[in-house]
Amino acid sequence: MFSRGFIRKLATSTKSTPKITDILIVGGGPAGLTLATGIQESPILSKYNVTLVDGNDLLNKVGDFYYDPPSYFTNRVVSVTPQSMKFLTEKLKVALLQDRIQPYDGLYVNDGITDAFLEIEREEMLYMIEILNIQSSLLHKLTTNSINSRVNIFDNCKVKSITSSVKGDPTSWPLVELANGEIYKTRLLVGADGFNSPVRNFAGLYSRGWKYDTWGLVATLKLDPQSLPIYKLRGWQRFLPTGPLAHLPLPGDNASMVWSTGGNEMSSILMEMDSKLFVKMVNAGFILTTTDIQYYLDAFKKGTLTTEQIIEDIDDRINQVYSSFKDETQIDEKFPPLVVDVVPGTRARFPLKFSHADSYVTDRVALVGDAAHTTHPLVGQGLNMGQHDIEQLLNCLERATLRGQDIGSVLSLEPYWANSYGFNNIRLGMADKLHKLYHTDFTPVVAMRSLGLNIVNQLNPVKNLIADIMTGR
Amino acid sequence: MISGFHCISKQPLNRIAGGRILGSKVVGKRTLILEAAMMAMASKYIFGGEARLADKMGNGELYNKNEDYKQLQKEKQLQRLKNLKNSRPMEPNYEGHIPLWPSEKLFLFLVSGIRSFYHPENGINIVQLGESTAIKPVLDHLHHTMLADPIGRRILKDKPEVKENTLHMETLANYPKNTFGYQFYTWCKRENVTPDTRAPIKYIDDPTHAFIFKRYRQCHDFYHALNNVPIIIEGEITIKALEGVNLGIPMALLGTLFAPWRLTKIQRERLFDIYLPWAVNSGLKCKPLINVYWEDLLDKDVNEVRKQIGLFPPPDLRTIRDQRRKELKDLNEKYKNLKEEYN
Ligand SMILES: Cc1cc2nc3c(=O)[nH]c(=O)nc-3n(C[C@H](O)[C@H](O)[C@H](O)COP(=O)(O)OP(=O)(O)OC[C@H]3O[C@@H](n4cnc5c(N)ncnc54)[C@H](O)[C@@H]3O)c2cc1C
């Protein structure tokens, strides 16, 4: 992204004198904003001068969400663990928009080919929350406590280049040039700048990873009013050979979905569909066989059936499946509530990636959040890992400060990496292995994994262990 | 039950004295009791009805007009039905369903397998073997084959029955000669079968699976008729092989593997030279036969139907047999003539 020649040229052509800051955070996503708030709220760290830079319109667009939230639920929704929740609301004293948060009590995971399933129940084990709720609540906290705050936010402003102030000396303070021409010289540079992290590239921290050739399709769904109140508030995930399909509860008659779809084609077909058909496909995705789903996708692609015909067929087949249950309560036990609509404009897709940096720290640089690790959303850990990173980094900075160390030195930063790498590695590994295990319909693998899932479902200690990992304990 | 055993095996006196205990007392030794019990279990299937009747006669139950006694009988019967129901692994899932435990399914497979080998002409053996080998993965596979095809889906939805009255057999006789319907009608007449002779499904647990297997069973005659294959054993083996290859039905494959051992040399040669190669070839090439809506094709030209499915008939078996018979006869005649001349 930043070719060396390009960086050098920019560095030598600047004329303005650098401003000094203690900590410069690149990125105002959930990770960057949480870190800034954490520093501001810490009695030990609040003396530091913090500069947060983001290329997007944070203060107006994101910030306004807090004061004037839309009537619908936005599509970037994350699953947050009680641990992360406690950190945000108790330690950082952030007042989230509570009525837009949905706690839920369990998970129902099943295999789309064999219907082997795993059921985990634990009261309020996880929370569904919009990323914008988190971001805007943090911004609210940062901007309303501004009297003593030493945090400055520059939005709509991209980082143009990063260089060492003393060429060839990695321990020298980095120089960060912004798009508006200003230059910052910082004691500690934090990369909270997402998957394509410019900070990571500058620091030369090697990140292993790959694209999954899979797209995550997200949307906010409207549930059948007849299904209210919802029988069991839980997250549903069905592993289809094309990738997992997840249904996650939101307040009232809302739900959020992520459908990981192998290859480019399936996700673009699903994006293209009329919303009436799309919601039927989501229902089909949970209730019907993988053969049915493929049949509908093909019929739509080739135009052998009209949208109305496909809708009718899906309804018929769902009724067939429903009526095969002798005990009707089993329907609510096995399938999520039916979806009747999708909120306009909330259907979107993004490519799924896996990456993990070998190290999160080096002289004067630390990485947090997606800059350090990106994961498949199938175990719902993306945001939580970022929150865990920040908790660890704050501890580490506090300790270094109390000991009078330079917070930009590797010595100070190393414990942060040591305390978070393992935690993240387990979760990243879990997501990656699950993705690979379920991204096949090869019979022996299907048989083994179904057997495994069924066995795990009978073993409470193992189930508890999984629940512990998923809820961040 | 044990008294039933005695009734047929040794002294009818024991039975008249009545009761299980006496029966085993007479036999005396433990091993013998066990043996007797096993024999009795087996004999229940064969002689259960008669034995019970004999028991009743022995107990003077048959002609007892006592009202109270009738009531008692009724209660007993209800109790027996309830016991029978409680002995099943599940409630029946559809009309005529007889839920079996896995061990019973295995037993059914073994018994019907052996009996089918020795008595393939008895339809019930083949029917039971078919159902006991129609295991879930096979039926799931067929279900998915149907779900992947528009016509297969329509069949699953409509759940059509192949019966004399649903096909309107009498009207088929008046169809134009080139139609598949007429061909089917004449084939049925020639082979002296009707679509109503197909046995119902009993032992498959899932109702959808039961329908699929019934459909497979009911369409069997269409395969015969379209290909003009008679129901004599060679013809059956040929069609079984076609089904086995095309649909992956285990019983059909088993039949193809084992049945030829019971044929004469000349029959076997015909089978291996002409009919099995045809069946394998056709089975692989034509569309899945479970996805053919035969009822829709009755008024179509038979050659059109063949083209649509991709299935074309083998050399006519009856003609070949007749030819061979004629050849034999001619040879015999010649031989006789020669003999006479020589004499
Ligand atoms: C389209 C999309 C949809 C997603 N949907 C879901 C979902 O439904 N559920 C889920 O669990 N997760 C989802 N994720 C993942 C989730 O958003 C991330 O895990 C989470 O946002 C990570 O937070 P972060 O703060 O580390 O990084 P980001 O949220 O990626 O924040 C990085 C920030 O850095 C800024 N930045 C980057 N480069 C520069 C630069 N050169 N100069 C200035 N600023 C810069 C960006 O503007 C951005 O604001 C989605 C991700 C994407 C991209």
What is chain A's Cα-based Rg?
A: 24
Q: What are the residues whose beta carbons fall under 8 Å from the beta carbon of A426, sequence distance 6 or more?
A: A469
ipTM of the complex: 0.74
Cα separation values, B109 from A81, B37, B41, B123, B235, Å: 53, 22, 18, 15, 24
CA distance to partner chain B, nearest, from residue A161 (Å) = 55
Q: Give the whole-angstrom CA distance, residue B157 versus residue A319.
A: 11
- A24 in contact with ligand 1, CB cutoff 6 A: no
Q: What is the pLDDT of residue B292?
A: 94
CA count, 13 A, side-chain hemisphere, A254: 21
Q: What is the pLDDT of residue A15?
A: 54
Question: In the predicted model, what is the mean pLDDT of residues B72-81?
Answer: 84
- Protein residue whose Cα sits closest to atom 33 of ligand 1: A27
- A55 in contact with ligand 1, CB cutoff 6 A: yes
Is the pLDDT reported for residue B18 higher than 50?
no
Is B220 within any annotated ligand binding site? yes
Mutate to test the interface with B, among A111, A295, A319, A322 (most CBs of B within 10 A): A295
Q: What is the pLDDT of residue A212?
A: 72
Ligand 1 center from residue A285 Cα (angstroms): 27
Which chain B residue lies closest to A320 (C-alpha atoms)?
B157
Nearest to B157 among A289, A291, A316 (CB): A316
Nearest ligand 1 atom, CA A198: 41
Is the pLDDT reported for residue A259 higher than 70?
yes
Each residue of A420-463: pLDDT tens digit? Answer: 999 898 888 877 777 777 777 776 677 777 777 777 777 777 77
Q: In b/e form, how buried is each residue of B210-231, taking b as 16+ CB within 10 angstroms?
A: bbbbbbbbbbbbbbbbbbbbbb
Residue with the larger pLDDT of the pair B116 and A216: A216
The type of residue at A206 is Y
Contact state of A324 with B208 under an 8 Å Cβ cutoff = yes
Q: What is the pLDDT of residue B22?
A: 36
Q: What is the pLDDT of residue A473?
A: 65
- Protein residue whose Cα sits closest to atom 29 of ligand 1: A29
- A370 in contact with ligand 1, CB cutoff 6 A: yes
Each residue of B19-37: pLDDT tens digit? Answer: 333 333 344 445 555 565 5
Among A35, A52, A54, the mutation site with the greatest number of ligand 1 atoms within 8 A of its Cβ is: A54
Is B68 within any annotated ligand binding site? no
Nearest ligand 1 atom, CA A218: 8
Contact state of B147 with A292 under an 8 Å Cβ cutoff = yes
Facing residues of A341 across strands? A222
Nearest ligand 1 atom, CA A374: 19
Q: Give the whole-angstrom CA distance, residue A157 versus residue A289.
A: 49
CA count, 13 A, side-chain hemisphere, A97: 24
Cis peptide bond upstream of A229, omega within 30: yes
Q: Residue A312 CA to chain centroid, in angstroms?
A: 35
Contact state of A304 with B147 under an 8 Å Cβ cutoff = no
Please give the helix or strand (H or E) that residue A365 lies within, else none: strand A365-367
Band (B42; pLDDT cuts 50, 70, 90) = low
Dihedral sign of CA atoms B54, B58, B63, B69 in order: negative
Band (A5; pLDDT cuts 50, 70, 90) = very low
CA count, 13 A, side-chain hemisphere, A301: 12
Q: What are the residues whose beta carbons fall under 8 Å from the beta carbon of A31, sequence distance 6 or more?
A: A192, A368, A369, A370, A371, A386, A387, A389, A390
Q: Give the whole-angstrom CA distance, residue A288 versus residue B297.
A: 30
Q: Give the whole-angstrom CA distance, residue A210 versus residue A229.
A: 42
Contact state of B147 with A295 under an 8 Å Cβ cutoff = yes
Q: What is the pLDDT of residue B55?
A: 65
Band (B9; pLDDT cuts 50, 70, 90) = very low
Q: Tell me which residues of chain A have a C-beta less than 8 Å from any C-beta of chain B.
A: 289, 291-292, 294-295, 299, 304-305, 313, 316, 320, 324, 326
Q: What is the pLDDT of residue A382?
A: 83
Contact state of B208 with A289 under an 8 Å Cβ cutoff = no
Question: In the predicted model, what is the mean pLDDT of residues B41-56?
Answer: 58
Both tokens of A369, joined, read: 């959040």
Both tokens of A314, joined, read: 């899906």
Q: What is the pLDDT of residue A230?
A: 85
Lowest average pLDDT, out of A145-154, A212-221, B227-236, goes to A145-154
Ligand 1 center from residue A193 Cα (angstroms): 8
- Protein residue whose Cα sits closest to atom 9 of ligand 1: A78
- Protein residue whose Cα sits closest to atom 27 of ligand 1: A194
DSSP label at residue B204? -
Residue with the larger pLDDT of the pair A24 and B341: A24
Q: What is the pLDDT of residue B64?
A: 53
Q: What is the pLDDT of residue B262?
A: 77
Q: Give the whole-angstrom CA distance, residue A165 versus residue B100.
A: 81
**A with B: how many residue pairs have Cβ under 8 Å apart?**
24
Cα separation values, B31 from A18, B23, B38, B105, B278, Å: 102, 14, 11, 28, 55
CA distance to partner chain B, nearest, from residue A349 (Å) = 27
Q: What are the residues whose beta carbons fall under 8 Å from the beta carbon of B253, sequence distance 6 or more?
A: B240, B241, B244, B245
Ligand 1 center from residue A87 Cα (angstroms): 20
Band (A262; pLDDT cuts 50, 70, 90) = confident
- A178 in contact with ligand 1, CB cutoff 6 A: no
- A53 in contact with ligand 1, CB cutoff 6 A: yes
Which chain B residue lies closest to A321 (C-alpha atoms)?
B208
Is the pLDDT reported for residue A340 higher than 90?
yes
Band (B40; pLDDT cuts 50, 70, 90) = low
- A311 in contact with ligand 1, CB cutoff 6 A: no
Is the pLDDT reported for residue A147 higher than 60?
yes
Each residue of A58-89: pLDDT tens digit? Answer: 999 999 999 999 999 999 999 999 999 999 99
Is the pLDDT reported for residue A1 higher than 50?
no
Average model confidence (pLDDT) across chain A:
88
Nearest to A324 among B148, B156, B207 (CB): B207
Is the pLDDT reported for residue A157 higher than 90?
yes
Question: In the predicted model, what is the mean pLDDT of residues A1-18?
Answer: 50
- A350 in contact with ligand 1, CB cutoff 6 A: yes
Each residue of A36-65: pLDDT tens digit? Answer: 999 999 999 999 999 999 999 999 999 999
Is the pLDDT reported for residue B57 higher than 70?
no
Q: What is the pLDDT of residue A249?
A: 95
Contact state of A294 with B148 under an 8 Å Cβ cutoff = yes
Q: Give the whole-angstrom CA distance, residue A441 versus residue B33.
A: 53
Q: Tell me which residues of chain B have a C-beta less than 8 Å from any C-beta of chain A.
A: 91, 93, 143-144, 147-148, 150, 153, 156-157, 206-208
- A30 in contact with ligand 1, CB cutoff 6 A: yes
- Protein residue whose Cα sits closest to atom 14 of ligand 1: A76
The type of residue at A366 is A
Is the pLDDT reported for residue A113 higher than 60?
yes
Average model confidence (pLDDT) across chain B:
79
SS3 assignment, position B90: coil
Is the pLDDT reported for residue A119 higher than 90?
no
**For A102, phi and psi rounded to 5 degrees?**
-120, 110
Each residue of B149-189: pLDDT tens digit? Answer: 999 999 999 999 888 888 888 888 899 999 999 999 999 98
Percentage with pLDDT > 90 across chain B: 25
**CA-closest candidate to residue A67, choices A91, A87, A97:** A97
CA distance to partner chain A, nearest, from residue B206 (Å) = 9
Among A128, A193, A352, the mutation site with the greatest number of ligand 1 atoms within 8 A of its Cβ is: A193
Ligand 1 center from residue A228 Cα (angstroms): 33
Contact state of B147 with A313 under an 8 Å Cβ cutoff = no
- Protein residue whose Cα sits closest to atom 20 of ligand 1: A383
Q: What are the residues whose beta carbons fall under 8 Å from the beta carbon of B317, sequence distance 6 or more?
A: B229, B230, B232, B234, B235, B238, B270, B275
Q: What is the pLDDT of residue B31?
A: 53
Facing residues of A128 across strands? A79, A102
Cα separation values, B69 from B52, B58, B75, Å: 17, 16, 10
Which chain A residue lies closest to B206 (C-alpha atoms)?
A324
Band (B11; pLDDT cuts 50, 70, 90) = very low
Mutate to test the interface with A, among B144, B145, B208, B209 (most CBs of A within 10 A): B144
Band (B49; pLDDT cuts 50, 70, 90) = low
CA distance to partner chain A, nearest, from residue B260 (Å) = 33
How deeply is A401 buried, as exposed, middle or buried, from its count of CB atoms within 10 A (0-12, 13-18, 19+)?
middle
Question: In the predicted model, what is the mean pLDDT of residues A113-130?
Answer: 86
Q: Contact, A284 vs A296, CB < 8 A?
A: yes
Question: In the predicted model, what is the mean pLDDT of residues B116-142?
Answer: 82
Each residue of A355-384: pLDDT tens digit? Answer: 899 999 999 999 999 999 998 777 777 899
Ligand 1 center from residue A106 Cα (angstroms): 27
Contacts 24+ apart (CB under 8 A), A262-271: A262/A213, A262/A214, A262/A439, A263/A213, A263/A214, A264/A213, A264/A215, A265/A301, A266/A242, A266/A297, A267/A215, A267/A217, A267/A349, A268/A349, A269/A297, A269/A300, A269/A301, A270/A217, A271/A217, A271/A347, A271/A349
Lowest average pLDDT, out of A100-109, A186-195, B162-171, goes to B162-171
- A130 in contact with ligand 1, CB cutoff 6 A: no
Q: What is the pLDDT of residue A9?
A: 41
Is the pLDDT reported for residue A27 higher than 60?
yes
Which chain B residue lies closest to A293 (C-alpha atoms)?
B148
Q: What is the pLDDT of residue B14?
A: 36
Q: In b/e form, how buried is each residue of A126-160, taking b as 16+ CB within 10 angstroms?
A: bbbbbbbbbbbbbbbbbeeeeeebbbbbbbebebb
Q: What is the pLDDT of residue A111?
A: 83
Is the pLDDT reported for residue A398 higher than 50?
yes
Q: What is the pLDDT of residue B269?
A: 87
- A131 in contact with ligand 1, CB cutoff 6 A: yes
- A54 in contact with ligand 1, CB cutoff 6 A: yes
Dihedral sign of CA atoms B33, B39, B45, B50 in order: negative
**For A68, phi and psi rounded to 5 degrees?**
-140, 70
The type of residue at B24 is S
Question: In the predicted model, what is the mean pLDDT of residues A161-190?
Answer: 92
DSSP-derived secondary structure for B294-341: HHHHTTSBHHHHHHHHT----S-HHHHHHHHHHHHHHHHHHHHHHHHH
Q: What is the pLDDT of residue B26?
A: 40
Q: What is the pLDDT of residue A146?
A: 60
